[in-house]
Amino acid sequence: MDIRSVDPRDQTWELDQPRYRVYLHDADGASDEYEPHGGDVVDVLTWAQAQRAGRSFVVYVCVPGDGLGLVRLQGSDPNAR
């Protein structure tokens, strides 16, 4: 990991209450997808951990733009190439 200082003035926008997506993957790669509402990232990660039931999971933050984008916060998609 590489850490550097930043100038916060380069920021042009912020989401105060972002949406999240959680994908829970079984051993075959099939997934159940959810959008938890009303919590922060710690709440979402705690919920995903509690729901995993032996499955892997990926947590994304939803980023609006030209369509919907996802930024991975934790986990990895077993179907990614």
Tokens of 50: 């509690």
Q: Which mean pLDDT values do the consecutive 10-residue runs of the chain (81 residues) have?
A: 96 92 94 95 97 95 93 91 69
Per-residue model confidence (pLDDT) at position 52: 94
* Cβ neighbours of residue 27 closer than 8 Å, sequence gap 6 or more: 55
Q: Which residues pair with 74 in a beta bridge?
A: 59
Q: Tell me how far the alpha carbon of residue 18 is from its chain's centroid.
A: 10
Per-residue model confidence (pLDDT) at position 2: 97
Domain spans of the chain, in order of start: 17-74
Per-residue model confidence (pLDDT) at position 18: 93
Per-residue model confidence (pLDDT) at position 80: 84
Per-residue model confidence (pLDDT) at position 79: 85
Contact 70, 59 (CB under 8 A): no
Neighbour-count burial of 23, counting CB atoms closer than 10 A to its CB (0-12 exposed, 13-18 middle, 19+ buried): buried
